[in-house]
Amino acid sequence: MKTALDLGCGDLKEANSLTEYHVIAVDRKIEGVPLPHVTFIEGDYFDMEFKGEFDLIYSDYSICFNRRERIEENFPRILSLLRQGGILIIRDFSSEEKVVQKRTNLDEEWFFELLRKNVGTLKIERKEVYEENHKHTHHLLIMTCQKV
Ligand SMILES: C[S@@+](CC[C@H](N)C(=O)[O-])C[C@H]1O[C@@H](n2cnc3c(N)ncnc32)[C@H](O)[C@@H]1O
């Protein structure tokens, strides 16, 4: 079975939906019920030593809540666990997003360079998504890399 690592899994919605993977889902606190293909680990992912290799590493709206120094120091160690040919997907908010405060702006060259250096060629997409509940448009940034 393929393996995936979910950094900052929140309510486990994404991890639970990836039924073709064994998902290691990490968060500081548990907010959902893991399905049998999901292993939840509680704690700070930047303090952890993960074992093995992953076919997919992804993080949705999570890494931006960590300080730049923490990211620069610890993210390369996690990215080294991506298997050759494996995929990295990071979803975050673009610098157009004005509402989100108290976060590190990942929509910057230092972060893109970190991904290129530790994974490979980077694809950056930007999307605007209207959120009906909050009557607000989100400006999303989606970064995808394949390990070469
Ligand atoms: C905005 S929520 C997103 C949750 C989920 N990924 C989603 O898309 O619904 C961000 C999550 O990242 C977690 N998080 C942020 N930094 C973390 C870290 N260093 N270690 C573990 N969890 C972290 C928070 O606890 C929170 O649950």
At 101 the pLDDT is 72
What is the rounded distance in angstroms from the CA atom of residue 3 to the CA atom of residue 25?
11
Ligand 1 pocket test target in 9, 27, 142 with most atoms within 8 Å of CB: 27
Ligand 1 neighbour 50 (Cβ under 6 A): no
pLDDT of residue 100: 67
Interatomic CA distance for residues 27 and 11, integer angstroms: 9
How high is the pLDDT of residue 21?
98
CATH number where 47 lies = 3.40.50.150
Q: How many separate domains does the chain show?
A: 1
Query: Is 10 close to ligand 1, i.e. is its CB under 6 Å away?
Result: yes
Kindly give the distance from the C-alpha atom of residue 137 to the centroid of ligand 1, in angstroms, as a whole number. 21
DSSP 34: -
Nearest ligand 1 atom to the CA of 45 is: 20
Q: In what order do the strands lie in the sheet with 82-93?
A: 38-42, 21-27, 2-7, 54-60, 82-93, 136-146, 122-131
**pTM of whole model > 0.85?**
yes
What pLDDT was estimated at residue 134?
A: 83
**Domain range holding 49?**
2-146
Task: Profile the chain (148 residues) by mean pLDDT over runs of 10 residues.
Answer: 98 98 97 97 97 97 96 98 98 85 90 97 96 90 96
Helix axes 109-118, 68-79, angle to 10 degrees: 20
